[in-house]
Structure 1
Amino acid sequence: MVAIDIHEQSRPSTTWRSKLTGATGPLVGLLALCIFLTISTDTFLSLRNGLNILDQITVLGIMAVGMTFVILIGGIDLSVGSVLALAMMVMGWTANIAGLPIGVGIVFALIASGLSGLIVGLMVTMFRVPAFIATLAMMSAVRGVANMITDGQQIVGFPDWFTMLAIDRHFGVLTATVFLMLAVVAVAWLFLHFRSEGRMLYAIGGNPEVARLAGIKVQLVTVLVYVASGVLAGLAGIVLAARLDSVQPSSGLGYELDTIAAVVIGGTSLSGGAGGIGGTLIGVLIIGVLRNGLNLVNVSPFLQQVIIGIVIVLAVGAETIRKRRVA
């Protein structure tokens, strides 16, 4: 019997060149997009607009980290937008209707979003429900629960300190919510590259059976990944509530598509086992810069959806071509 060192096989490359290789294409695309928008409009290349872009991508950036984990193991999570809405409504109801401190509401919101991910993980592992179907069902169920909390009504008004998290610029540059997103990205990057648990995700995405034979508890890791995705979606909902100073059950509609798009554009393979947080961050920036730039040049919101769809197709096509060349 041949010994299998799954940790060595699944270890992300340790050289800086290899770490950047998978994100080179998206990075070049981001730079080209920035150059084009700089030429097309006078307002794009400015500190104020750059900070606005960072503020706008905080929610997407946090959600995309969780989605990266899910896609790395070969899964998918269509429920993140609805889980975001559920977390917002749980926090809003706890703080503004039940009268508890907003900190307690935040904790309850994260617990609720984590439970949503736990249910999905158990459906995928114990009941063998395909991830697409399990998360599609959760997307519908959680959205319904979010509406039931206040009978579809929004909740407005939170403490000033909470809303200032998304407004007050520390050192005159970044808001607390941007710092939070960057912290989540940094921790996730370190986790994937320097922890054996992070390398397990690559192993499971590459070949779940080989990972199981190598001693990795595939089902447990899968459940924890979906829990992490749910918690990060809930955290993104809290950030969105701070930005809007309100919560409503219709929040997050379509966010799952933008989140998956950012991860795929960033070079993470939909079949699992390849990709990373660095590429995801670039993908998030591409989505943010693209939306910002299209608004600056007065492109219709409907046409924006078409353009972003084309970008997704091109990104997936480029990944397919690259795989064929490698093979």
Structure 2
Amino acid sequence: MKSNVLNKLNMLRKITSHEMFPPAMSLLMLYIISASISPQFLTTYNQYVLILQTVPLALLALGESLIIMMGSIDLSPGSVMALTGTISAILIKQLGFDPGLGIAAGILCGTLIGFLNGLMVTKAKIFSFVSSLAILVIGRGFVLILTQGRSITGLVEFRVFTYVTILGLPVMVWVFILLLIVLYIVVRRTSVGLVLYGLGGNEEAVRVSGVRVDFFKVLAFSLAGTLYGLSGQIMNARLEIAYPWTGWGYELDAIASCVLGGYYLTGGVGNPVGPVLGAYVLTMITNIFVLIGLDPYFQWVVKGIILIGAAAILTRGLRYVK
């Protein structure tokens, strides 16, 4: 009898000490609160919309998590999302490119931007905060130049992500799930992930051990840029409009999603599933504000308060914060 109780206590201790326990419990609590506030929240249609709204931000958060894992920061996700979506829209709608080729070009553009960002950090020795801030500004500037501040409408070619369904879910959701699985395996089961965690924990130790640190940093930024580029295509599919201000402020939501998902901004800690839960939480906050008819601008205040609370919980016990 006593051994059974001890086994149950040990199991409970393992569950509560798991890195995903705080994000999962936060999501569950918010889910219950949202369901009790609005009866429309649990409807099939609303849950379906909630998933579709989460995917673009979750892709940005996954890309951002790779950078934060190394102890760096990336402020460019929103602008890269807008720029890659705009480039694909122009290639397809104005230059007559094949839709598949135009979408691939947009994603490749995101990879190239991430690659350049990585080179600025590793070769030019520019702090990631500064280099990504420059890309944020330059990227948004190019979007405005290319569009002259006007939206590109009628993007029906991107409907492959939203109109084609498998087992009741759009292709965009399955693409996201596949990428999440692949990224999880890379981060948690390969040497690439081990190096990225090591860079966030102690970069100098990793460098002294003979690892090509610069290569892995550039790789992480390139992968992140690829995810940002894909997010831009999915946003085009959801809106069917390439809006010049698409993704405005999403870089902050991407960072917040990582923090809510259990990532330390000091690096070295985090589970790839965490940013997805964080993105779902932030999307849920916006969703419930719409359902109950509150001023949507208040969501910024609520997001800020939640972010402070999550950061305070995560940093408890740390001797210092970078």
Question: Is residue 275 of structure 1 aligned with residue 270 of structure 2?
Answer: yes
Structure 1 residue 249 displacement after superposition: 2.1
> Aligned to 1:129, what secondary structure does the other structure show?
coil
Structure 1 residue 21 displacement after superposition: 1.3
Structure 1 residue 150 displacement after superposition: 2.7
> Aligned to 2:293, what secondary structure does the other structure show?
coil
Structure 1 residue 153 displacement after superposition: 2.1
Aligned mate of 2:236, from 241, 245, 252: 241
Structure 1 residue 324 displacement after superposition: 5.4
Distance across 2 between alignment mates of 1:164 and 1:88: 15
Aligned mate of 2:167, from 154, 171, 175: 171
Cα 1:111/1:60, change in 2 over 3 Å? same
Distance across 2 between alignment mates of 1:277 and 1:20: 17
Structure 1 residue 23 displacement after superposition: 1.7
Cα 1:69/1:154, change in 2 over 3 Å? same
Distance across 2 between alignment mates of 1:158 and 1:322: 50
Distance across 1 between alignment mates of 2:286 and 2:184: 25
- Residue by residue over 1:146-198, the C-alpha shift from the partner in whole angstroms, topping out at 9 and shown as x without a partner, is 222232222112345x31521444323x1111111111111111111111111
Q: Residue 102 of structure 1 aligns with which residue? A: 99
RMSD of aligned alpha carbons: 1.8
Contact 1:26 1:266 in 2 (8 A): yes
Give unmatched runs, 5+ long, in structure 2. 1-13
Give unmatched runs, 5+ long, in structure 1. 1-16
Distance across 2 between alignment mates of 1:136 and 1:27: 31
Contact 1:167 1:243 in 2 (8 A): no
- Residue by residue over 1:74-97, the C-alpha shift from the partner in whole angstroms, topping out at 9 and shown as x without a partner, is 111101110111101110111111
TM-score when scaled to structure 2? Answer: 0.91
Contact 2:15 2:21 in 1 (8 A): no
Q: Residue 3 of structure 2 aligns with which residue? A: none
> Aligned to 2:19, what secondary structure does the other structure show?
helix
Q: Residue 127 of structure 1 aligns with which residue? A: 124
Question: Is residue 78 of structure 1 aligned with residue 94 of structure 2?
Answer: no
Q: Residue 253 of structure 1 aligns with which residue? A: 248
Distance across 1 between alignment mates of 2:286 and 2:81: 21
Cα 1:106/1:20, change in 2 over 3 Å? farther
The alignment of Structure 1 onto Structure 2 pairs a total of residues equal to 307
> Aligned to 1:223, what secondary structure does the other structure show?
helix
Distance across 1 between alignment mates of 2:53 and 2:69: 25
Structure 1 residue 322 displacement after superposition: 4.4
Aligned mate of 1:139, from 116, 126, 136: 136
Contact 1:23 1:282 in 2 (8 A): no
